[in-house]
Amino acid sequence: SAKINHQDHLEIGGCDVTTLVQKFGSPLYILDEETLRTACRQYRESFQRYYQGEAQVLYASKAWSCLAVCAIVASEGLGIDVVSGGELYTALSAGLSPEKIYFHGNNKSRQELLLAIQSGCTIVVDNWYELRTLVELAGEGDKETTRQGEEFFLTLPLSHSCSPIRIMLRLTPGIECHTHEYIRTGHLDSKFGFDPGDLDELFTFVSNQSALNCVGLHAHIGSQIFERQPHQDLAAVMVQWLSKAAGYGLSITELNVGGGLGVKYIESDDPPSIEEWVKPICEVIQTACAQENLPLPKLLCEPGRSLIASACVTAYTIGSSKVIPDIRTYVAVDGGMSDNPRPITYQSVYRTVVANRMSVPCTETVTIAGKHCESGDILIKNAQLPKTEPGDILVVMATGAYNYSMASNYNRLPRPAAVVVANGEANLILQRETYEDVIRQDCLPERLKS
């Protein structure tokens, strides 16, 4: 819900972005609650419309994990996918019920596994090492659980010793899709998941483990995907796996097709809508299950980017500029690769506007530079902007996914604040870090003190 107000300023969720920066400082992440809630509803309603069985949408919290975001998606009925003890702790602290938390990761530590067991969430097992560790931990019972898990959970209610441990198995489907090499995960040489060639051995193993309750199968093929075919192929392959499980007397009732739906960062991006993504997946699963004479599984998916990317913008203050005649003009902002590492990491592209000059014609082509000591710290190349001055507010659009969650303190920049806006009200959801925060973990040994 963005518009231009009578002062020619950008307004989001009824809040003037320029005023927000005056109040909360910059850089500032601005999360539009309504956009996030709308995306959650589009996922839920699409499954209601097109899937005849039970469905559960999980938010992939790696996209942006913090208490407020978890609370908003949970209030829309979504569950949460976590990939570390830290994300699990955040989801539990936000009040998520463990039945709606799924724990991923290709190298979960012993401690993280204990935490997961203790909390009662579902563990998405990635490999044989993890599977064997789980069997071992289940055998050791509560003793180690309390010893090692304790310190993390002092303040959290626990559903303790929920044996058997609820697990899913993650498989690598061998499906290629067109996205950046670093965020492709479904191809066979991916670091994630079991080889489907291991299925027989896996099903035999888990069917003999009374400590493990294997409820489902999982796969994720990549991120920022615009094609629809790969997920349909995936759905078909997963039903084949499901029918295989039936032969082992395993009651595997859940299929999780992962996340990956892409979003529009720039004008030429043309991803399918949420509904267009969900519908064919449901159809493929329903048709394949009918053919195989299988009951419909509970269908899960775990989008991150397509839920939250478009719900947030980052506001910066413009500072210095440098004109290199006939070559390029750099305009620098007060953040950069520490609050948005995506351009330098994946050559990602973004759209931008000047929040206090919304109707001024774009007459300049400039390169938006960050403030880090690194020439590659460029947020946007060749952006079309109106003429700007120091103090203007530059807004980069669609920064909700993998921005705050991948932010760093590079060059010891304090991480930005974030606000959630709705109906003209803005509430802080992440405090701006202070210089005290920046040195909080530093230790100065006695002998180094002067």
Residues belonging to the active site: 373
Please give the Cα distance from 419 to 258 (Å, whole number).
Answer: 29
Return all residues near 78 (Cβ < 8 A) that are at least 6 apart.
40, 43, 44, 56, 57, 58, 59, 100
User: Least distance to ligand LLP from the beta carbon of 147, Å?
Assistant: 30
Would you say 226 or 346 has its CB closer to ligand LLP?
346
Do 59 and 302 touch, CB atoms closer than 8 A? yes
- Residue 183 engages ligand LLP in binding (rule: CB under 6 A): yes
Would you say 277 or 316 has its CB closer to ligand LLP?
277
Please report, as a single letter, which amino acid is at residue 297. P
Do 81 and 61 touch, CB atoms closer than 8 A? yes
User: Least distance to ligand LLP from the beta carbon of 221, Å?
Assistant: 9
Helix, strand, or coil here: 406?
helix
Return all residues near 176 (Cβ < 8 A) that are at least 6 apart.
184, 186, 187, 230
Q: Confirm or deny that 120 is annotated as ligand binding.
A: no
Would you say 31 or 261 has its CB closer to ligand LLP?
261
Would you say 123 or 354 has its CB closer to ligand LLP?
123
- Residue 223 engages ligand LLP in binding (rule: CB under 6 A): yes
- Of 44, 305, 371, 415, which lies in the binding site for ligand LLP, with binding defined by CB under 6 A? 305
Q: How many residues bind ligand LLP (CB under 6 A)?
A: 23
Span near ligand LLP by CB under 6 A; candidates 2-10, 22-30, 219-227, 354-362:
219-227
What is the x/- site pattern for ligand LLP, positions 252-281, by CB under 6 A? ------xxxx--------------------
- Residue 415 engages ligand LLP in binding (rule: CB under 6 A): no
Residue (of 380, 263, 374) closest to 318 by Cα position: 380
- Residue 302 engages ligand LLP in binding (rule: CB under 6 A): yes
Q: Confirm or deny that 51 is annotated as ligand binding.
A: no
- Of 304, 335, 336, 370, which lies in the binding site for ligand LLP, with binding defined by CB under 6 A? 304
Q: Which of residues 57-86 bind ligand LLP (CB under 6 A)?
A: 60, 62-63, 81
Strand partners, 417: 28
Helix (H), strand (E) counts: the chain: 13, 20
User: Least distance to ligand LLP from the beta carbon of 212, Å?
Assistant: 20
- Residue 306 engages ligand LLP in binding (rule: CB under 6 A): yes
Helix, strand, or coil here: 55?
strand
Would you say 43 or 203 has its CB closer to ligand LLP?
43
Q: Which class for 38: exposed (0-12), middle (13-18), buried (19 or more C-beta within 10 A)?
A: middle
Would you say 294 or 349 has its CB closer to ligand LLP?
349
Span near ligand LLP by CB under 6 A; candidates 10-18, 72-80, 304-312, 407-415:
304-312
Segments in 3-101 forming alpha helices (H) = 17-24, 33-50, 67-75, 85-93
Q: Confirm or deny that 374 is annotated as ligand binding.
A: yes
Please report, as a single letter, which amino acid is at residue 127. N
- Residue 173 engages ligand LLP in binding (rule: CB under 6 A): no
Q: Confirm or deny that 102 is annotated as ligand binding.
A: no
Residue (of 276, 211, 222, 285) closest to 55 by Cα position: 285
Would you say 59 or 152 has its CB closer to ligand LLP?
59
User: Least distance to ligand LLP from the beta carbon of 406, Å?
Assistant: 6
Please give the Cα distance from 222 to 231 (Å, whole number).
Answer: 10
User: Least distance to ligand LLP from the beta carbon of 246, Å?
Assistant: 25
Q: Which of residues 355-384 bind ligand LLP (CB under 6 A)?
A: none
- Of 100, 220, 244, 357, which lies in the binding site for ligand LLP, with binding defined by CB under 6 A? 220
What is the x/- site pattern for ligand LLP, positions 6-45, by CB under 6 A? ----------------------------------------
> Which helix (H) or strand (E) is 240 found in, with range?
helix 229-246
- The Cβ-side half-sphere exposure at 274, using a 13 Å CA radius, reads 23
- Residue 230 engages ligand LLP in binding (rule: CB under 6 A): no
Show the tokens assigned to 294: 């299988």
> Which helix (H) or strand (E) is 275 found in, with range?
helix 274-292
Give the helix, strand, coil percentages of the chain, each rounded to 5. Answer: 35, 25, 40
Q: What is the dihedral of CA 98, 103, 107, 111, to 10 degrees?
A: -10
Binding site for ligand LLP (CB under 6 A): 60, 62-63, 81, 104, 183, 185, 220, 223-224, 258-261, 302-306, 342, 346, 401-402
